A and B are shown apart, each in its own frame.
Chain A
Amino acid sequence: MTTTAATQPHDSPPEPEVDNYLTYTRGFRSWALTLDHKRIGIMYLVSVLGSFLVGGIFALLVRTELLTPGATIPGVDENLYNQFFTLHGAIMVFLVIIPSIPAALGNFVLPIMLGAKDVAFPRLNLGSYYLWVIGAICAVVSLTVGGFDTGWTFYTPYSTTTTTGGVIPVVTGVFILGFSSIFTGMNFVVTIHKLRPPGMTWFKMPLLLWALYATALIQVLATPVLAITLLMLIVERVFQIGLFDPAMGGDPVLFQHFFWFYSHPAVYIMILPAMGIISEIISVHSHRHIFGYRFIAFSSVAIAIFSFLVWGHHMFTSGQSPLMNVVFSLITFSVAIPSGIKIFNWMATLYRGSISINTPMLYGLGFIFLFTIGGLTGLHLGTLNTDIHLHDTYFVVAHFHYVMMGSALIAMVGGLHHWWPKMFGRMYNERHGIIGFTLVFIGFNVTFFTQFMLGSHGMPRRYYDYPSEFQIYHVISTIGSYIMAAGFFWTLYLLVQSLFSGKIAPANPWGGRSLEWQCSSPPPHDNFKTTPSVGDCYDFSVVRWSEEEGGYVVDRGDDATSKPDH
């Protein structure tokens, strides 16, 4: 640490206010080889949003194809359709949602919120990013060698026998992406344990950090199981023998056990950081101390632990023993407890708060609404007898879209608006942001609420053709998806536009108390000039609007907001 302090004066440009992480150094190499967690976060963000566009295009193709029974888009037959939904699922899960909050937003805000200069292993962090890139390239390569139509779950024995040529490249890609995720998790766990400044105790950490910590534990302990499973799958596909091959005494259901041992926790890799973001947004934008801090923090950890014990609820119809079904069903229900704790605490935080209805807050409220629907419909699927009927129908599709998209992705977009001024030093247009939210929110519900009805009427998922009685629902759902697409394109436009003509952002535009609002917007290369002083990050009574700053300031001498030589 003496070296950092010693080199500080030499590295700093002469005018301190110009020194931010974006202008600190220039040129392609300074980005490609950066060790700065903020730049790595931005690189992840751009890559993830690019993947989101690709995955979204496949979703629109799927929805358009389903407008009419049988063929709709000229040239798209059943086999191509199978590839569309497989690609949509694989891209959205492995390239978008899993890295979206931890790797993109988390990388940017975690060290600043913690009061650290960077993550514990900056080189490993950059390495994780390039592993992500290599994994993404593998997925692209798989398209050029025949694609793959296994569904994102790669179930054996279909995945070991299908004639589409892209299975091995894409499985290799997911294998590599898994390591990217493991290393990010490792970095976050060590960072949170070892790099906290004086005064930043566990119970003074913002709740997003608790959520990212719980997420990182899952990433570290569950992802390796997926890695070895995929390796076994590759070996089996190449040599046509393996643990999943019943012809030689193997067990095909074993693949499902292994796959869901990772992929159910992976759902919590998606949702836990989203819940962390919501804890920040709800508290900051209602200017009220978060209600039940410890309960929210521990419920994150509880959800992480539960995540390892419920994978069997994906396999109620796979022939596992009835006793196991009952046990998995019961444990699944108990996930409702920590999830419910969070919802009620957010509601209690809102109660009598001074709520600012701006874009991040709308996404936050949207999250609570959509997650509640996603969570409650989970009860129908966790109940054994209703699951037999609903299994593999559009009800499941709607349920997990409410959780993975309506909750995880909505929180990600909300968080993006929340930290956008911090990331780029520009305010987006609030009115435009609200229009974007409205389109996305309406489009989402039109698309997926309809699918609950489709599913409960018996429309199976992944089908290319369907009886004409389902058509009206499919048409409504497809229209919803177009509205949602318009909302996302609009959001992209308003965010990009803000970079060119947005107002200059103050250090603290929302009145937040956590440490990232103490440093300037965009933050300097080293995050903090002096050791940040840690207060109660949810105590908003000392925050007041300052006309000359154009933003909020924190009163009292115990915070180093505008005092460089504290």
Chain B
Amino acid sequence: MANIVTPFEDPSTRLSAGRFGMLIFIASLAMIFAASILGVMVVRLDDQGVWPPAGMPALPLTLFWSSMVLIASSGTQVLASRAAARGQGEALRRWMLVTFSLAVTFLVMQGWAWSELVDRGLDFSRHLYAWTFYFLTGLHAVHVLGGLIPMFFVTVRAARLGYTRENHRSVAYLAMYWHFLDVAWITLYLTLLWGVSSWSA
């Protein structure tokens, strides 16, 4: 055992390779959202008219409530991570189940907001206003969906009390990703609301 073939991770460092990798991955994803937001802003700055344009519905209030749900899920994820770090399996199970439910609720509410706008005649191909809404929310929803899959597995494992105080890395990775999606959504939502004449319908 004395012969270390190669030094993999130095356990004394605070930032593990896995966490560091997640950070870089998130930085990469942040560039995707940053570019999208920048693109929308450029088009908005070129546009001299009122926003939303005449005859277009304002964004539904559902989005405000879904934002609250997402923020809440980020909060319960913090509680879940804390429980995992302390080795409290029961609490971890509880908070992961709550987080997962809130995450699914968020996605359902986003779909609901979409259908409300479709009902009010906000057609994707009619105006860039519609395009920005559907593109930004769709882009975020895809990433939420991508997060729900690992969250499902983490929740199942937490429900079976499969995490220990020493090994709960997947909870930590999931939490990093989830908080990122939270911040990304708030930024996107504010971008959509930026300079609008009426902010809800």
A195:B6 contact, CB within 8 angstroms: yes
Given A117-B8, A194-B9, A186:B28 Cβ within 8 A: yes
Q: Which residues of B contact A526 (CB under 8 A)?
A: 5-6
B6:A193 contact, CB within 8 angstroms: no
Q: Which residues of A contact B5 (CB under 8 A)?
A: 1, 4-5, 8, 117, 526, 528-531
A116:B6 contact, CB within 8 angstroms: yes
- Candidate in B25, B124, B131 with the most chain A CB atoms within 10 angstroms: B131
B residues in contact (CB < 8 Å) with A: 1, 3-10, 13, 16-17, 20-21, 24-25, 27-29, 31-32, 35-36, 39-40, 42-43, 46-47, 124-128, 131-132, 135, 139
Extra contacts besides A5-B3, A529-B5, A531-B6 (19): CB < 8 Å: A4-B8, A5-B4, A5-B5, A115-B6, A117-B8, A189-B24, A190-B24, A194-B20, A195-B6, A196-B7, A220-B28, A228-B32, A232-B39, A243-B131, A248-B131, A250-B43, A251-B43, A527-B6, A531-B7
Residue A447, interface by CB 8 Å: no
A residues in contact (CB < 8 Å) with B: 1-2, 4-6, 8, 115-117, 120-121, 124, 182, 186-187, 189-190, 193-198, 220-225, 227-229, 231-232, 235, 239-243, 245, 248-251, 254, 258, 261, 526-532
Minimum distance in angstroms from B110 CB to a CB of chain A = 18
| Bound form: Cα–Cα A193–B73 in Å | 32
| Bound form: Cα–Cα A2–B4 in Å | 7
A223:B28 contact, CB within 8 angstroms: yes
Given A220-B28, A249-B43, A250-B43, A225:B128 Cβ within 8 A: no
| Bound form: Cα–Cα A529–B8 in Å | 14
Minimum distance in angstroms from B201 CB to a CB of chain A = 22
Which 3 residue pairs are nearest across A and B when measured between Cβ atoms? A117-B6, A224-B31, A194-B17
Minimum distance in angstroms from A413 CB to a CB of chain B = 30
Given A5-B1, A224-B32, A254-B39, A241:B131 Cβ within 8 A: yes
A243:B31 contact, CB within 8 angstroms: no
Q: Which residues of B contact A254 (CB under 8 A)?
A: 39, 42-43
Q: Which residues of A contact B20 (CB under 8 A)?
A: 189-190, 193-194
Pick the residue among A195, A225, A241 that contacts B125 (CB under 8 A).
A241
Q: Which residues of A contact B131 (CB under 8 A)?
A: 241-243, 248
Q: Which residues of A contact B4 (CB under 8 A)?
A: 1, 5, 531
A221:B128 contact, CB within 8 angstroms: no
Q: Which residues of B contact A243 (CB under 8 A)?
A: 39-40, 42-43, 128, 131-132
| Closest A residue, CB atoms, query B9 | A194
B47:A120 contact, CB within 8 angstroms: no
Pick the residue among B9, B17, B47, B135 that contacts A249 (CB under 8 A).
B47
| Bound form: Cα–Cα A239–B6 in Å | 53
Pick the residue among A121, A193, A531 that contacts B3 (CB under 8 A).
A531
Give 19 pairs: A residue, B residue, CB < 8 Å, sorted on A: A1-B4, A4-B5, A5-B1, A5-B4, A115-B6, A121-B17, A186-B21, A186-B24, A221-B27, A221-B28, A224-B28, A224-B35, A225-B32, A225-B35, A228-B35, A243-B42, A248-B128, A251-B46, A526-B5
Q: Which residues of A contact B21 (CB under 8 A)?
A: 120-121, 124, 186-187, 190
- A contacts with B: majority SS: helix
| Closest B residue, CB atoms, query A120 | B17
Q: Which residues of B contact A531 (CB under 8 A)?
A: 3-7
- Candidate in B1, B28, B36, B46 with the most chain A CB atoms within 10 angstroms: B28
A258:B6 contact, CB within 8 angstroms: no
Minimum distance in angstroms from B139 CB to a CB of chain A = 8
Minimum distance in angstroms from B11 CB to a CB of chain A = 9
A530:B3 contact, CB within 8 angstroms: yes
| Bound form: Cα–Cα A149–B49 in Å | 37
| Bound form: Cα–Cα A249–B24 in Å | 35
B1:A6 contact, CB within 8 angstroms: yes
Q: Which residues of B contact A1 (CB under 8 A)?
A: 4-9
Q: Which residues of A contact B39 (CB under 8 A)?
A: 232, 243, 254, 258
| Bound form: Cα–Cα A250–B43 in Å | 6
Q: Which residues of B contact A241 (CB under 8 A)?
A: 124-126, 128, 131
B6:A228 contact, CB within 8 angstroms: no
Minimum distance in angstroms from B192 CB to a CB of chain A = 14
| Bound form: Cα–Cα A480–B21 in Å | 46
B7:A248 contact, CB within 8 angstroms: no
Q: Which residues of B contact A186 (CB under 8 A)?
A: 21, 24-25, 28
Q: Which residues of A contact B16 (CB under 8 A)?
A: 194
| Bound form: Cα–Cα A223–B10 in Å | 30
Q: Which residues of B contact A248 (CB under 8 A)?
A: 127-128, 131
| Bound form: Cα–Cα A5–B6 in Å | 9
| Bound form: Cα–Cα A116–B4 in Å | 11
| Bound form: Cα–Cα A258–B139 in Å | 17
Minimum distance in angstroms from B40 CB to a CB of chain A = 7
Q: Which residues of A contact B127 (CB under 8 A)?
A: 248
Minimum distance in angstroms from A143 CB to a CB of chain B = 28
Q: Which residues of B contact A528 (CB under 8 A)?
A: 5-6
Minimum distance in angstroms from A520 CB to a CB of chain B = 15
| Bound form: Cα–Cα A143–B39 in Å | 31
Q: Which residues of A contact B139 (CB under 8 A)?
A: 228, 231
Pick the residue among B9, B24, B125 that contacts A220 (CB under 8 A).
B24
| Bound form: Cα–Cα A197–B28 in Å | 27
Q: Which residues of A contact B31 (CB under 8 A)?
A: 221-222, 224-225
A228:B36 contact, CB within 8 angstroms: yes
Minimum distance in angstroms from B190 CB to a CB of chain A = 19
| Bound form: Cα–Cα A2–B9 in Å | 12
| Closest A residue, CB atoms, query B53 | A249
Pick the residue among A197, A249, A529 that contacts B128 (CB under 8 A).
A249
Given A190-B17, A194-B17, A220:B27 Cβ within 8 A: yes
| Bound form: Cα–Cα A153–B6 in Å | 43
Minimum distance in angstroms from A102 CB to a CB of chain B = 15
| Bound form: Cα–Cα A222–B39 in Å | 15
| Closest A residue, CB atoms, query B10 | A194
Minimum distance in angstroms from B22 CB to a CB of chain A = 9
Minimum distance in angstroms from B45 CB to a CB of chain A = 10
| Bound form: Cα–Cα A532–B7 in Å | 10
| Bound form: Cα–Cα A249–B35 in Å | 18
Minimum distance in angstroms from A36 CB to a CB of chain B = 13
Minimum distance in angstroms from B125 CB to a CB of chain A = 5
| Closest A residue, CB atoms, query B11 | A1
Q: Which residues of B contact A124 (CB under 8 A)?
A: 21
Q: Which residues of A contact B125 (CB under 8 A)?
A: 239-241
| Bound form: Cα–Cα A457–B10 in Å | 61
Given A224-B29, A227-B32, A529-B5, A195:B17 Cβ within 8 A: yes
Q: Which residues of B contact A222 (CB under 8 A)?
A: 31
Q: Which residues of B contact A251 (CB under 8 A)?
A: 42-43, 46
| Bound form: Cα–Cα A8–B4 in Å | 10
Minimum distance in angstroms from A210 CB to a CB of chain B = 18
Minimum distance in angstroms from B75 CB to a CB of chain A = 28
| Bound form: Cα–Cα A18–B197 in Å | 75
